[in-house]
Each structure stands twice: as structure tokens, then as C-alpha cells.
Structure 1
Amino acid sequence: MRQNPSFTLGDPDELKRLVRENPWATFVSAPSTGLVASHYPVLLDETRAELSLLAHLGRPDEQLHELGQHELLIVVQGPHGYISSGWYDEKPAVPTWNFIAAHFSGVPEILSDEENLEVLERLVDHFEDALPSPRRMRGTLKDSEYADRIASGTVGLRLTPTRVVAKQKMSQNRPDHIVDTIMSELGGDSPYASEGLLREMRIVHERRRAAR
């Protein structure tokens, strides 16, 4: 991903927030057979101070990726959307796309069977907690026995990235009055309205304006 100093995202807390709020990720590697991409949920390893990602791959994806033998790229993407040049008062102008995304690269650590089970249980709890009647992986004896059986079809991993490239492109290169117009359009009834993207823009620009 081409980097631009104006849009660089380097705040570890913001990177962690990105992962927490957007756990569906793309896994990319370049094994001996050629490029491979897969899609799985990720969690932060909250037991570690440094940014580490926990995940699992279903078999035989770990063989396709030659998991643990070379670098793995995990791509996490947040809200994004089209920004019309009609929302600017500048002429000439071209449209753009605002987005937030991070690329986490490194050689993953393969988890033991016990660690993998813990991560799977944590993953289920993470998403079930939002439901009125959460279904736990070990909620009943039968659930627990079933989980133990199917866990063998997965391989757990921890990625503590050695390289992070992250970008938060939220019209930081535009004057305040144009930023306000863009946010108004995103929060209105435009075909390209986006509450998620509007929220991200507000976070970025409220912080920028407060720092002046």
C-alpha cells in the first residue's frame, strides 16, 4: 500500500481499535505454489502489551499458506466510501475514496492444540457477548465435546507483526469547510452516505482541530 505522510496511521491504540471493531480480515502469503489469500476473523491478544493478532485457519488452508514457514500478511479494513468531487467547492477537482486499513506482516507463531482451543473459545465469546442469550462453546457438555472434536480441523496462530503499514485517509488534505461538507453528505441521504465512515472522519478531524 502506497504510503502518504498526511494519511499515515501510527497510533498503536488506533490500530488496536481498528482490529477490535473490524475483525474480519484477509490473510495473504506467497508460498512456493504462488499467491494465496484466505479470510478469517482475528482478535487482539489482550494479554500482551505489544500488538499481536490471534486467529485460526481451517485445514488445509494452513498447508496452502505453508503457515509458519514465511511471512504472512493480514489485512484489516475499516469503513470506507466514495467521496464525490461535487462535495468540494474547488474546480477542477477529482473524486476520491476515503478509508482506513492496516497491513500487518510477520512470520506467525503456530499455537499448540490447547492454545488454539482457548483462542477459539475466546473468539466465540467475543461475538456471542453481544447477544441477549450468548451461546458458549462450552455451554453444555455436548457443546464442549463437539468443540473438542471440530477444533482438530483448525490451526491456531499468533502474529506479532514485524512490519505495519497503516493508512487513515479521511480528507486530512482538505480545508475545514470542505471536510464539514463531506461529513454532512456522509450523514445525509446521499447514495454514498455512510455512518461508519462519518464516525471515522469525526474522530480524525475532532482530534486534529483540538490539537491546533
Structure 2
Amino acid sequence: MHPNSAFRPRQDDLAELLVREIGFAAIFANTPDGPRVAHAPVVLGDDRTTLQFHLARGNALTRHLGGANALAVVQGPDAYVSASWYADADQVPTWNYVAIEMEGVTRKLDDSELVAQLDTLSAAHEARIGTNPPWTREKMNPAQFSKMTGAIVGFEMRIAAWRPTIKLSQNKSADERDRVIAGVEVTGHGAIAQLMRHLGGDRKDA
């Protein structure tokens, strides 16, 4: 989390929207074997107090997560920012990025909760890609589906803390931000440019 308060989103629902839109997180926890990280699709609860995910049963983190305090990090687009894009010569390069940290204690899901999580995930993402008809587990042989779900373990984090960083040059003037937007767009980072335009109201001179 960046210490500059300028990079805390002013829109209360922005971090939640980004977690739902990106839908993928790195899950960190300490284990007896040292710190471990896993990567997984995530489902944010409707009340934004829970985050569900699942891991392969053989993942090195899986056997340590139940009851553990964990950190989930959802990372959005990022881009290098050249100091040459500023009018003031006394500047240094930096990096614009989006990162949302969520911390909390995790619990293992039972079989029915895991299946519900998988149904929610597939329904959300099938709707995005517009498959008609969408894929559902009803298309699978139930025995095969049960065998495959037996190879994964579901978890739910009770979110105790949100720590979002939306670092998009909010501490710069409107003219400087416009130059950075043009620069990152030219260098192929259109997603960062679009977010910077969307957050134009968070400028320090706004």
C-alpha cells in the first residue's frame, strides 16, 4: 500500500468494483515452510465482507489456509511513467498502478459451498463472454464433475481490512496528468490511460 493518501480512492465503491471486474488475486500467507503465495479467481460477497476462492488440493498453501490470517491482492493495470512527460525538469520516473489488498482470516468451505462458488464464478464469466447458451456444470457427467471438484479446496476470507492503492498521478496538476495519459497511451497502456481519465475528478487541483 502506497503511503501517500492522494492514492486512496475517494469513491467508496471503486475498490470493490475493481475486485469484481478483475476477478483474480494473489493469496499470501505464512506457513511453517515460510511465506507462500497462490493465484486464484475470486468471488467478492454481495456485502463486500467476504472473498471466496479455491486452490488445487496439491497447492503448497492449501493445507495451511484453514483458520489462517491471509492477504489477498488484486492487481490491475500498471505502467511506467517517464519523467520527461513532466514540464518540471526536477522530477524522477515513477510507476502508476492499481492494487487492492484485503486481509482476513480464512476458513475452508464445505462441498456444497465450493460448488456454489464454482456456479457463481462460471455464471458471472459466461455472462461476460456472451456464450449462448452459457456453460453450466449440468453439461458435465456428475461423476466426472465430482471427481474434478475433489481435486480442489474452497476457502472464504472474512475481510477485516481493505487497503486499496489507486496510483494514477492524482498528486500532479491537470496538465501533467494529461501528458502522462498521452504518454502511457502511446506506449501501449490504454487501460491505465482510461482509468486516469475516469478518475479525473480526483486530481489535486479539482
How many angstroms apart in 2 are the aligned matches of 1:14 and 1:65? 33
1:83-136 deviations in Å (ceiling 9; x for gaps): 111111111211110011011111112211101011012112222221333552
Give yes or no for the alignment of 1:204 onto 2:206: no
Deviation at 1:176? 0.6
Partner of 2:147 in structure 1? 149
8 Å contact kept, 1:102–1:164: yes
Deviation at 1:3? 2.1
> Against the structure 1 CA distance between its residues 90 and 126, is the aligned structure 2 distance closer, same or farther, given a 3 Å change threshold?
same
Output the amino acid matched with 1:110. K
Partner of 1:195 in structure 2? 190
Deviation at 1:64? 4.9
Instruction: Give 3-state SS (helix, strand or coil) of 1:161's partner.
Output: strand
In structure 2, list runs of 5 or more residues that go unmatched.
Answer: none
Output the amino acid matched with 1:133. N
In structure 1, list runs of 5 or more residues that go unmatched.
Answer: none
Instruction: Give 3-state SS (helix, strand or coil) of 1:136's partner.
Output: coil
Partner of 1:43 in structure 2? 43
Instruction: Give 3-state SS (helix, strand or coil) of 2:144's partner.
Output: helix
Partner of 2:164 in structure 1? 166
Instruction: Give 3-state SS (helix, strand or coil) of 1:186's partner.
Output: helix
How many angstroms apart in 2 are the aligned matches of 1:134 and 1:45? 26
How many angstroms apart in 2 are the aligned matches of 1:146 and 1:152? 10
How many angstroms apart in 2 are the aligned matches of 1:11 and 1:161? 19
8 Å contact kept, 1:54–1:159: yes
1:12-41 deviations in Å (ceiling 9; x for gaps): 411111111211211111011111111111
Deviation at 1:148? 2.0
How many angstroms apart in 2 are the aligned matches of 1:29 and 1:65? 11
Partner of 1:4 in structure 2? 4
8 Å contact kept, 2:55–2:62: no
Deviation at 1:149? 1.9
Higher normalized strand content (fraction of residues): 2
Instruction: Provide the aligned C-alpha RMSD in A.
Output: 2.1
Partner of 1:136 in structure 2? 135
8 Å contact kept, 2:16–2:48: no
